[in-house]
Amino acid sequence: MSILTKLVLGQTPTQEEIEEELAEVCEDTHAYCSDQCPVFELNGSKVPNKLRTKSRCDCFKNGKKMATFIKEHS
C-alpha cells in the first residue's frame, strides 16, 4: 500500500516506508536534481554537498540520510 493511500485511510506510514519512498524520489530525479526532491528543495534548490562526495549529494539515494536531512532542516 502506498504512503498516500495510508494517509488517506488515516494510517501512519512506518519510518522504513518513508525512507524507501524518499530513496525512490532520489532514484527518479537524481540526474535532474530539482525541487521534486525534498532535500534539494529544503536546501534552497541546491545540492547539499558538505561531504564533497563523489556522487555530489550528501544524501544520494539514501532514504535514511534524506529523512535526517529533512528533520534537521525543517
9: in domain:
no
Q: Let me know if 40 is exposed, middle or buried by CB neighbors in 10 A (0-12, 13-18, 19+).
A: buried
Whether the per-residue pLDDT at 15 is higher than 80: the answer is yes
41: in domain:
yes
Cell of 11: 494510517
Instruction: Convert the pLDDT of each residue in 17-73 to its tens digit.
Output: 999 999 999 888 766 888 999 999 999 999 898 877 666 888 989 999 999 999 999
CA distance 73 to 13: 21
Q: What is the pLDDT of residue 26?
A: 86
CA distance 32 to 18: 21
2: in domain:
no
53: in domain:
yes
Q: How many domains in the chain?
A: 1
30: in domain:
yes
7: in domain:
no
Q: What is the pLDDT of residue 42?
A: 95
CA distance 37 to 60: 11
Can you give the residue range of the structural domain that contains 46? 15-72
C-alpha 48: how far from chain center: 12
pTM of structure: 0.85
